[in-house]
Amino acid sequence: MKTYADLPSDAGSNIIGQVTAQANRLQKRLASVKRTVAIMSGKGGVGKSSLTANIATALTLKGQTVGVVDADINGPTLAKMMGVRNATLEYTPTGVKPAMTALGTKLISMDLLLAEDDAPVLWNAHSQKDAFTWRATMEVGALREFIADTDWGNLDYLLLDLPPGTDRLPNVVELIPNLGGVVVVTIPSEVSQLIVKKSITMARDILKVPIIGVVENMAFYVCQHCGEEGPLFSVDETLDETFQKSILDSIPFDPKLTRCNDNGTPYVDKYPDAPASQALMQVAEKIQTFFNS
Ligand SMILES: Nc1ncnc2c1ncn2[C@@H]1O[C@H](COP(=O)(O)OP(=O)(O)O)[C@@H](O)[C@H]1O
Ligand SMILES: [Mg+2]
């Protein structure tokens, strides 16, 4: 594949200049961010976005200044989960002002840039053959803009909610070479753990990114009536040894969390005493300990 530098002419668009300027802007923005954390999992539907929204809220409640990048460009859900879908982005000479939740967490998401509710993100490739490369390039470009062109101000934490897929983290590391760490999300099923193990190998062995820990989501359910705990998935599915060593916490399934996500209400704020909230607050605390020790 040719890079920008190989193009014989850029038809006057000074594309190399534009990309360099944006890369410089990205570095400048990151200079005012103390810690960057990617929330990832090879698997979809395991709760990455729910956890990102609630860890961000938990850290905000602990007095930290928090920004969130919804890096799931094709399936953005965080604007809804964090209750800012109706926010209008303000463009200023210093960059786009991120949307802000009632509690003060900042968010930027592709969802805030799409005009219609049912509008999908379309990447136009020249041919089916080019589609994969084109899409990957566009995704990295969009992510770079999200971080570089947003006026985040000073942040204690910038959380990135990654889309599913083991190949997503390298894109992030390309943009943020000194990524502070990753939080890996899995559910107890063997299918999920099989994929998530690959993500851990990618992060730890190939990219050498620090792993803050693993969160086991939807680990069990708590009966709404008697408070008894039971397995949500199969009875004999336990967490693999690879994960057990670095577990941050296990989050139970709680229908109220789903409802909060759908209503755009921060669950940890609304139900602070619920077992899942307590576990989520623990995870936020362990992230703080990771960086402060
Ligand atoms: N611990 C939980 N309890 C109840 N519902 C949950 C929990 N974690 C996630 N969900 C729900 O599961 C669905 C998938 O979660 P989501 O955060 O979108 O996953 P991902 O970002 O990994 O695709 C959502 O509808 C969400 O509300
Ligand atoms: Mg998601």
Q: Which atom of ligand 1 is nearest to the CA of 258?
A: 27
19-23, 106-110, 269-273, 274-278: the lowest-pLDDT one: 19-23
Q: Report the range of poorest mean pLDDT among 97-106, 138-147, 169-178.
A: 138-147
Alpha-carbon gap, residue 153 to 166, rounded angstroms: 31
Q: Contact, 156 vs 59, CB < 8 A?
A: yes
Helices (H), the chain: 15-31, 48-61, 78-81, 128-148, 168-175, 190-201, 241-244, 255-263, 267-270, 275-292
Q: Whose CA is nearest to atom 19 of ligand 1?
A: 47
Categorize the per-residue pLDDT at 125 as very low, low, confident or very high, splitting at 50, 70 and 90. Answer: low
Distance from Cα 5 to the centre of ligand 2, integer Å = 34
Domains delineated in the chain: 32-292 (3.40.50.300)
Q: Is 258 in the pocket of ligand 1 (CB under 6 A)?
A: yes
Q: Give the model confidence (pLDDT) of 1-21 as tens digits.
A: 555 556 566 667 676 777 788
Task: Report CA(196)–ligand 2 centroid distance (Å).
Answer: 15
Residue 41 Cα to ligand 2 middle (Å): 10
Which residues have a Cβ under 8 Å from the Cβ of 285 and sit 6 or more positions away?
62
Give Cα separations from 40 to 97, 120, 271, 282 (angstroms).
25, 23, 25, 18
DSSP single-letter state for residue 253: B
Crossing angle (nearest 10°) for helices 168-175 and 128-148: 40
Return the number of other C-beta atoms located less than 10 Å from residue 124's C-beta.
Answer: 9
Q: For 238-266, what is each residue's pLDDT tens digit?
A: 667 777 778 999 999 999 999 999 999 99
Q: Is 94 in the pocket of ligand 1 (CB under 6 A)?
A: no
Nearest CA to ligand 1 atom 1: 253
> How is residue 157 annotated by DSSP?
E
For residue 109, which of 52, 167, 64, 166 has the smallest C-alpha distance? 52
124 pLDDT band, cuts 50/70/90, is low
Q: Say yes or no: CB of residue 47 within 6 Å of ligand 1.
A: yes
Ligand 1 site, residue 52, Cβ cutoff 6 A: no
Q: Is 45 in the pocket of ligand 1 (CB under 6 A)?
A: yes
At 32-90, the pLDDT tens digits run 999 999 999 988 999 999 999 999 999 999 999 999 999 998 889 999 999 999 998 88
- Rounded-to-integer distance, Cα 94 and Cα 292, Å: 31
Q: Is the CB of 217 under 6 A from ligand 1?
A: yes
Q: How far apart are CA 252 and CA 179, in angstroms?
A: 29
Q: What is the pLDDT of residue 139?
A: 81
Has this prediction a pTM greater than 0.95? Answer: no
Determine the pLDDT at residue 138.
78
Question: Which pLDDT score is estimated for 264?
Answer: 97
Strand partners, 160: 38, 69
277 close to ligand 1 (CB < 6 Angstrom): no
